[in-house]
Amino acid sequence: MAGSPTARRRRLSIELKKLREASGLTCAQVGAALDWSASKVNRMETGTGRVQPSDVDALGRLYETSDDIREFLKSLARQAKMKGWWQVHGSGVPEWFNIYIGLEQEASSFWQYQCELVPGLMQTTSYMTELHVAGSHMTPEDADRAIRVRLERQEMLSRKGAPDAWFIVHECALRQVIGDRSIMREQLEHLLDVAQLPAVTLQILPFDAGTHPVTGPFTILGFPDQGDPDVVYRDGLTDATYLEGEHHVREYTRAFNGLRAAALSPQRSPLLVKSILKEHAR
């Protein structure tokens, strides 16, 4: 069973949609049968609405599921209402980012491209602090909470059963000075250390790699259960986009593979990092 509340909610919505489609009913027909609106049924199936165990029980009976399946789905609904560990930090984690962390905690593969900054899961505390100081939209208290959450998220790379984490970082992110050069030296040294973890692969996309297929950072999350489709994640200053459609996932996967081909190999990438590290040391 999926571990985080976000993953449970997602799995529940996927299963409810499968059951409805197998029954041959539309959202409107289900809503009419249960005296609900069609939009309520749709929200349950897209994960944008709260689903009560009693709602699941009513749907299960309408779809004539077995008692075991109905109890399993009711259990998912109950557990989806629980809070994840990161949510205790309140406003330090924006609501739109709560969803991402919940998915990240369950991912079995994690592919990320970053073109301006060092990936969050590879950042030092000093580097993070400088970024949050520059991001004046957060109070000092919220910035401190956000840093604590990011540090705890980083543990996923070294835990038992860590996801297959593949990072492609543009050379620009290594040369851009965040804070001062001492912070950058510490950051690049840490980057090299993290790249040594068994589950982590790091590639650097150099300036002279030529034209590449994307224009901004993105993450592709894969999950261990084949019933959970991959998710493409892109974020901004105040919101995020989650893409699950086969077309989106296919195109971003193709783009990531193109970046892998254009970037330095995992063996040569640390050499460029060390070269830039020497420059920051001067």
262 lies in the same domain as 127: yes
pLDDT in tens, 197-255: 999 999 999 999 988 777 799 999 998 877 778 889 998 777 788 887 889 999 999 99
The enclosing domain of 19 has a CATH number of 1.10.260.40
Does residue 218 belong to any structural domain of this protein?
yes
180 lies in the same domain as 277: yes
110 lies in the same domain as 31: no
**C-alpha closest to that of 26 among 64, 76, 54, 62:** 62
Instruction: Provide the residue range defining the domain that includes 128.
Output: 90-281
Q: What's the average model confidence in pLDDT over 2-7? A: 62
- Total count of domains within the chain: 2
- b/e map 175-193, b = 16+ CB within 10 Å: eeebbeeebbbbbbebbbe
Q: Per-residue pLDDT for 136 more than 60?
A: no
Q: What's the average model confidence in pLDDT over 251-272? A: 96
Q: Look at residue 1 in the predicted model and tell me its pLDDT.
A: 35
121 lies in the same domain as 19: no
pLDDT in tens, 84-128: 555 554 556 676 677 788 788 889 999 999 999 999 999 999 999
32 lies in the same domain as 107: no
Q: Per-residue pLDDT for 173 more than 90?
A: yes
73 lies in the same domain as 98: no
pLDDT in tens, 35-59: 999 999 998 888 777 888 899 899 9
Q: Look at residue 2 in the predicted model and tell me its pLDDT.
A: 44
Does residue 85 belong to any structural domain of this protein?
no
**C-alpha closest to that of 187 among 128, 114, 267:** 128
The enclosing domain of 153 has a CATH number of 3.30.870
48 lies in the same domain as 174: no
Length of the chain: 282
